[in-house]
Amino acid sequence: MTTRRDVKTGVSLVAAVETAEKLGTTVDEVVAARLSEEDMMRISAESLNISSWTGLRICGIMFVMGCNQAGYGIDWAVVGGINAFDSWHDYFGFGEAGVILGTMNALMTIGTFVGAPFLALGDTFGRRGVNFVGNALVVAAALLQGLAPNLPCFFVGRLLLGFGTALCTAPQYMAEIAPVHLRGRLVGIFGACFQVGSIVMNAAMMGFTQWNSDWQWRAPLLLEGLFPFLVCVFIYILCPESPRYLVMKGKREQARHVVAKYMTTHNDENAPIVPLVLAQIEESLEESNTGVRAAWDYRIFFTKQVGYRTMVLLIYSLFQQWNGGGIIGNYLTPALATIGINDALDQLGINLGLTAVYFIFTVFGSYLIDIFRRRTLIFTGLVSIIIFQVATTITSWQYAQTESKATAYLTIVWMFLFQICSASFIATMHNLYPVEIISLPLRAKGMGLYAMFQGAAGVVNTYAISLGIVKLGYKIWAVYIAYNFIQLIASYFIFPETSKLSLEEIDRVFETKGTDPVKLSLKISKAKKEKAKVDRETERSEL
């Protein structure tokens, strides 16, 4: 395997860094200058016209991967929606909040935690193989839940659903297959498909309120298997294997075919982007200080060379799980009860509206992510979330004092604004940022570790909300306000910038010795911005 060489100097990035160290030059300045010379975003954009057969093939991938997300979104809507059905509570005999409901929701995240390590098998059987198995398990789990004769059977279905869902995760695949200049947008739209499932199911559940039988809650649980079934049918027909996985397995020519077919307009293997992408992948594998290890070996994540990535993964997973969105998701019914909204149809209608708004602004966010820096969006999202959580706490408190309908309605307005800001600034990155910060040799296991962190944080969060709403009522919002403020400070000092970099270029941010990842990433971002400005001025002067 050959190392990718710098076009101007004829040396690899690592060699350039070593030379800088010998000469006493600042290493991060060398790396920033080196990466700014090779404008992957521009070359990728020039190589692909999305209004072509290639664009249609990418749409096919988006359909299948979108079904992954939609399937997960259905469960989010089902669990939050059936909690408003009396038939559901009468059959199993428990209330709208408390230990039993908390256990049902927690079993999903426990299953995710248990299944997450098996994502590492994506390096053995391929990204598609693991995804297929996960969706097949979700179909089986949907049947177990929907036809459950008793609570233990339902619990088993929830656990299996979480296990399968852990394997269904597709952000890694989307980030690896997407053309460089479209990575943020495509992964963002992929993430928005979560809400498609939620919207469809929320609308259906408003109709189910008219049923007067156990099928009122059984039917939506069975429908959880619809989108996963579509994935199982089409994944090997419409989705190629990841070129990065193929290179890892020594199948360079197959990888070349995939890159040409999905990253160039005319399936041109001689297009500039093709050798450049392949060379970067090979260099990343050759120069990585982690190496490719056995699927079961997670020890590398707790070593000095990978520890920073692990810390970012952990903090980001807590950020995703503990920002307060779970109250509007699985526990919207008891949350609305704290402001006097108890009618099932009203609750489902509000849930549908919140979900639809989240979908629209997640799609909007998928365009913002290629315009603004990742860190800028994270900071903006956290500040806006804190503001609207404070507003929600104040109006909920006022309702508790006066039971005024105006304060109840105003609380709902704050919830909608919370959804708008969360979707616009943060939601897109939940499927993108964790993938970007993990190097290729560790990406499959890293996403498994990320899912484990999410699962553990989700279990804590699920029980905390379920019990917290019972004991604290509307005051539970204050807990999340305090946490999000801490998260805002931590994010500033810990999260590196990854926008407008290829996945392999991001590796340099973490693996360049003697540098701080946050400072280096910001210098690279600045260097690329200045390089683009110079190029634009040069083009104008030549006209």
Clarify whether residues 320 and 183 are in a common domain.
Answer: no
Clarify whether residues 102 and 129 are in a common domain.
Answer: yes
Tokens encoding 163: 């296990």
Kindly give, in sequence order, each residue whose CB lies less than 8 Å from that of residue 129, ignoring residues fewer than 6 positions away. Answer: 121, 122
Clarify whether residues 462 and 478 are in a common domain.
Answer: yes
Start-to-end CA distance of the chain, whole Å, equals 42
Q: How many angstroms separate the Cα of 456 from the Cα of each of 116, 137, 197, 486?
A: 11, 21, 24, 20
Domain-located, residue 218: yes
What digits encode the pLDDT tens for the residues 184-242?
888 888 888 888 887 888 778 777 877 878 888 888 889 889 999 999 999 999 999 99
Question: What span, in angstroms and rounded, lies between the C-alpha atoms of 191 and 367?
Answer: 12
Domain-located, residue 55: yes
Quick one: pLDDT at residue 252?
A: 93
Which helix or strand (DSSP H or E) is residue 341 part of?
none
Q: What is the identity of the amino acid at 25?
A: T
Which residue, among 191, 236, 202, has the nearest Cα to 70 in the 3D structure? 191
Phi, psi of 318 (to 5 degrees): -65, -40
Res. 468 pLDDT band, cuts 50 70 90: low
Res. 339 pLDDT band, cuts 50 70 90: confident
Domain-located, residue 485: yes
Which residue, among 51, 230, 197, 220, has the nearest Cα to 131 in the 3D structure? 230
Clarify whether residues 428 and 519 are in a common domain.
Answer: no
**Highest mean predicted confidence (pLDDT) among 38-42, 360-364, 366-370, 469-473:** 360-364
Domain-located, residue 372: yes
Clarify whether residues 380 and 425 are in a common domain.
Answer: yes
Domain-located, residue 418: yes
Whichever domain contains 395, its CATH number is: 1.20.1250.20
Domain-located, residue 71: yes
Burial 329-360 (b: 16+ CB within 10 A, else e): bbbbbbbbbbbebeebeebbebbbbbbbbbbb
Clarify whether residues 214 and 319 are in a common domain.
Answer: no
Question: What span, in angstroms and rounded, lies between the C-alpha atoms of 478 and 462?
Answer: 16
The pLDDT mean for the chain works out to 81
Range of the domain at 518: 503-542
Clarify whether residues 512 and 486 are in a common domain.
Answer: no
Which helix or strand (DSSP H or E) is residue 227 part of?
helix 226-238
Question: What span, in angstroms and rounded, lies between the C-alpha atoms of 271 and 77?
Answer: 44
Clarify whether residues 510 and 461 are in a common domain.
Answer: no
- Asked if residues 258 and 58 have their Cβ atoms less than 8 Å apart, the reply is no
Q: How many residues does the chain have?
A: 543
Quick one: pLDDT at residue 436?
A: 87
Which helix or strand (DSSP H or E) is residue 104 part of?
helix 99-115
Clarify whether residues 85 and 232 are in a common domain.
Answer: yes
The residue that leads in pLDDT, 478 or 60, is 60
Quick one: pLDDT at residue 30?
A: 44
Domain-located, residue 280: no
What digits encode the pLDDT tens for the residues 394-403?
998 888 888 8
Q: Could you say which of 190, 206, 239 is where a domain stops?
A: 239
What digits encode the pLDDT tens for the residues 235-287?
999 999 999 899 988 899 999 999 999 999 999 998 999 998 898 888 777 65
* Half-sphere exposure at residue 252, Cβ-oriented, CA atoms within 13 angstroms: 12
Question: What span, in angstroms and rounded, lies between the C-alpha atoms of 242 and 128?
Answer: 8
Clarify whether residues 393 and 489 are in a common domain.
Answer: yes
Quick one: pLDDT at residue 67?
A: 92
Clarify whether residues 97 and 234 are in a common domain.
Answer: yes
Instruction: Classify residue 294 as exposed, middle or buried by CB count within 10 Å of its CB (0-12, 13-18, 19+).
Output: exposed
* Half-sphere exposure at residue 282, Cβ-oriented, CA atoms within 13 angstroms: 18
Clarify whether residues 438 and 373 are in a common domain.
Answer: yes
Quick one: pLDDT at residue 509?
A: 85
Question: What span, in angstroms and rounded, lies between the C-alpha atoms of 434 and 235?
Answer: 23
| Count of domains for the chain | 3
Domain-located, residue 183: yes
